[in-house]
A and B are shown apart, each in its own frame.
Chain A
Amino acid sequence: MMAEIRKAKGIMDWLDQRLATETLTKVLMTEYWIPKNINFLWAMGVILTTMFGILFISGLFLLMYYKPDTKLAFDSVNYTIMQEVYYGWLWRHMHAVAASVVFLVIYIHMFVAIYYGSYKKGREMIWISGMLLFVLFSAAGFSGYMLPWGQMSYWAAQVITNLFGAIPFIGPDLVVWIRGNFFVSDPTLTRFFMLHVLLFPIIIIAAIVFHFYSLRIPHVNNQEGEHFDFDEEAEKYKAGKKKESKVIPFWPVFLSKDLFVVGVFLIFYFYLVGFNYEFAMDPINFEPANYMKTPTHIYPEWYFLWSYEVLRGFFFPIAGLKPFTLGLLGFAIANIVFFILPWLDRSPVVAPAHKRGAFNIWFWLMLIDMIGLAVYGKVPPNGVYVLGGTDITPWFGFTFTVGFFILLFIALPMITIRERKRAGGAK
């Protein structure tokens, strides 16, 4: 039945008669219920949404002057945008710093979810769509890093596209196909430009919407992993028993606090943008790309270091597999293994790690291992640490790499199976 259109009492009523804005506001904002028992770590999602907005807006202004051509790209960034365009430096620093800190917040977001067990018992799709966003942001980061066409842009592109060459049979042809040439060159730049400014942002926006939607049915987890009836608690809140109710509405109660955290974060972010942006602007990338000269030491941005170290971690053959093959397999698994985390954790217990005994130790070991991987990902592959004439440098990365796989594939299932049995059998 079509709604009966009356003379509107005002602009809101006029819109409501045509778009049901009142119902929409309730569904999305004032009657979308969030648990009360949470802390500032629950603000990471809104921070990430804000950062994506900043990346999008700063990207628009960079796109006005950027030229996707190997002859023009470097100067369009380093002369036109950085020196001529009013506030061009600001957009570039904002874009580069946001691309870097967005990963910091993603990692915090992920480890918060792991700590509080927010990836299981009905929340698997939240976790999986979040992991999808991690992969998409990585792809966007990699494609964007190529655009300034400096030495690090170029050799990162060369090394990463080269990895596909290890795929059996089609590998070498696939590399040429991806690059659009036998080596990284103009066609490579223009196609990754397309991916970076159009396809990836569109898919990311769709994935963010899906990620938000995936929260609706299982609801946001809380600090204690407590399970309660959201409808019942919502009724209490609506009946005025706000103190007694375990939930609060998304808007204005939750978001007002969230936006406060966003504000604190943005002060830190703009401090980095204005005064400490060097970490996001590698000096090697201020040298134009030169395919006849390799930088002596190639390393990725900090947020890719841990998986890069898994790639390099193996340096001797194991079970007849060459180190190169092992590294590549490890790298491929490391990049997707977190998708299946809800199934590597065999326990139904949803609780903060500090109340889960052995899982707590596992959590901190995992965090230390990944930081260890990242630290050694930046160290040159050999000759840094020598002990009694033996080069022990590669053993650090190897140990952290093997530790990573043992923690995920052996320790986690064992610990959680034991926890399940103690909690009273399988559920």
Chain B
Amino acid sequence: MAIEKSRRDFLGLAFGSVAAVGGVLALGAMKATWDPLPSVMAAGFTTVDLSTIKPGEFRKVVWRGKPIFILRKDKTKFKKCDNRDTKLSEKDFLVVIGLCTHLGCIPEWLPDQNKFYCACHGGEYDACAVNTFGPPPRPLDIPPYKITGTKMVLGELGSKCKALIAKNPTNKAS
């Protein structure tokens, strides 16, 4: 009896270990299959050539399914601000995520009125994308980006951008 019992214990233990190892490996494979594909991850970076943007030009690019607003402000009447604009030699750019911080609608840039206007609930932001009217709780968020030469890569966090985000404690994007 004693021998038989220990034999069965051995069988149980052996099967238990094989099943546990197999189970963990299977879970690992399942988790990895749900992971975003390498092509999707690679597409998570958007490169913009800032030298092609003229003074006063407003450009909308797409990064990770979100609209990114780029506004070049030097040599214009648009309000500038050191804590939110990024400088490239003498050029002055505002780079923000174009989703209203109230409920995520996409605001519109009104150059004549020098402001962003959100049609959903009437929120307004100045040319620095700081909320000035309506329900938005905070300025538009600054996305992570890195500038190398005249090229800006959205999705990588460069030192300039990091410093700007540090000056905006309410910034949610990372």
Q: Give residues of chain A (283-297) contacting chain B, Cβ–Cβ below 8 Å.
A: 291-294, 296
Q: Are B35 and A294 in contact (CB under 8 A)?
A: no
- Within the complex, the shortest CB–CB distance from B168 to chain A, in Å, comes to 18
Interface string of B7-33 (1 = CB under 8 A from A): 000000000000000000000000000
Q: Which residues of A contact B120 (CB under 8 A)?
A: 294, 296
- Whether a CB of chain B sits under 8 angstroms from the CB of A185 is yes
Within 8 A of B (CB), among A334-384: 381-383
Q: Is the CB–CB distance between A180 and B40 below 8 Å?
A: yes
Task: Name the CB-closest residue of A to B100.
Answer: A294
Interface residues of B in 47-77 (CB under 8 A from A): 62, 64-67
User: Is A279 close to B, CB under 8 A?
Assistant: no
| Residue interface bits A291-310, CB-to-B below 8 A is 1, else 0 | 11110101000000000000
User: Which of B64, B67, B106 contacts A182, CB < 8 Å?
Assistant: B64
Decide if B35 touches A177 in the complex (CB within 8 Å).
yes
We find that the number of chain B residues with CB closer than 8 angstroms to chain A is 20
The residue that A180 contacts in the complex, of B34, B65, B67, B103, with Cβ under 8 A, is B34
- Which chain A positions have C-beta within 8 A of B105? 294, 296
B111 within 8 A of A: no
Please give the distance in Å from A410's CB to the nearest CB on chain B: 32
Could you tell me which residues of chain B, from 104 to 123, have a CB within 8 Å of some CB in chain A?
104-106, 119-121
Q: Which residue of B lies closest to A159 (CB)?
A: B104
| A187 in contact with B106 (CB, 8 Å) | no
**Nearest CB of B to A89, in Å:** 32
Residue A18 lies at the interface, judged by CB distance under 8 Å to chain B:
no
Query: Please, how many angstroms separate the alpha-carbon atoms of A292 and B105 in the complex?
Result: 9
In the complex, whether A201 has a CB less than 8 A from a CB of chain B is: no
What is the chain A residue whose CB lies nearest that of B135?
Answer: A382
Please determine whether B119 and A296 come into contact, CB atoms closer than 8 angstroms.
yes
Note all chain A residues with C-beta closer than 8 A to B36.
176-177, 179-182, 187
Q: Is the CB–CB distance between A180 and B37 below 8 Å?
A: yes
Chain A minimum-CB-distance residue to B66: A183
Which B residues touch A383, using CB under 8 A?
121
Q: Which of the listed residues B44, B65, B119, B121 has the most CB atoms from chain A within 10 Å of its own CB?
A: B65
Among candidates A184, A185, A293, residue contacting B106 with C-beta atoms closer than 8 Å: A293
Contacts between the two chains (Cβ within 8 Å), count: 47
With a CB–CB cut-off of 8 A, which chain A residues contact B44?
A: 182
Complex: A187 Cα to B66 Cα, angstroms: 17
Any chain B CB within 8 A of the CB of A172? Answer: yes
Residues of B close to A241: CB separation below 8 A:
none
Question: Whole-angstrom distance from the CB of B68 to the nearest CB of chain A?
Answer: 11
With contacts A182-B64, A294-B106, A294-B120 known, is A191 near B34, CB below 8 A?
yes
Chain A contacts for B121, CB-based, 8 A: 382-383
- Tell me the smallest distance from the CB of B101 to a CB of chain A, in Å: 12
Q: Which residues of B contact A292 (CB under 8 A)?
A: 62, 67, 106
Q: Is A172 in contact with B174, judged by CB distance below 8 angstroms?
A: yes
Residues from chain B with a CB closer than 8 A to the CB of A181 are 36, 40, 65
Cα A185 to Cα B106 with chains together (Å): 18
B149 to nearest A CB, angstroms? 26
Which 8 residue pairs across A and B have the least CB separation, nearest first?
A183-B65, A182-B64, A294-B105, A296-B120, A181-B40, A180-B36, A291-B65, A181-B36
| 21 A-B pairs whose Cβ atoms sit less than 8 Å apart in the complex | A177-B35, A177-B36, A178-B34, A179-B36, A180-B36, A180-B37, A182-B44, A182-B64, A182-B65, A183-B66, A184-B65, A185-B65, A187-B36, A187-B37, A191-B34, A292-B106, A296-B119, A298-B103, A381-B103, A382-B135, A383-B121
